Amino acid sequence: MNNRIKHHDNKNSLSIVNSAEREMQFTLKQTITEESTFNIIRNVYECFRMLGDALLVSKGIVSQDHVEQIRELEKIPVETKRPVKLIDSLRKLRHNINYYGYIPTKAEAEDAVSIAQACFYLLLKEIKKRL
């Protein structure tokens, strides 16, 4: 964990949250095809990562690590239809896409969308309460 403490920045946190919400709305409207799978998975993951980053920024923590951002989401006591811990599987999948040229299947993109639909907006609502 390579965190450094900065000042609490709720304004920046809210900006990050709003951006994540806007990007997720766009992503969930996309049609899943063999050509769009990688982009949908990346975008879904990035929106979750941004929520975790917003929480850290609101605490004055600048993280250099995606794992820490996802762990921050896992700490939120929210009841979802699918486990929040599944977001970490999106992080690993995105890593394989970005760094190893992995080509995801439509089923993997559909699963990413399912995780987003089950978890994102509930986490978003709870995070907005905290800001």
pLDDT of residue 104 exceeding 60, the answer is: yes
Domain residue extents for the chain: 4-130
pLDDT, mean of residues 5-27 = 92
CATH of 4-130, one of 1.20.120, 1.10.1200, 3.30.160, 1.10.3120: 1.20.120
**What phi-psi label fits residue 48: left (phi over 0), alpha (psi between -120 and 50 degrees) or beta?**
alpha
Q: Give per-residue pLDDT as tens, 108-128.
A: 999 999 999 999 999 999 999
User: What is the pTM (predicted TM-score) of this model?
Assistant: 0.94
Distances (CA, A) of 36 to 22, 31, 50, 99: 19, 7, 21, 18
Q: Give per-residue pLDDT as tens, 53-92.
A: 999 999 999 888 899 999 999 999 999 999 999 999 999 9
Residue 60: per-residue pLDDT: 92
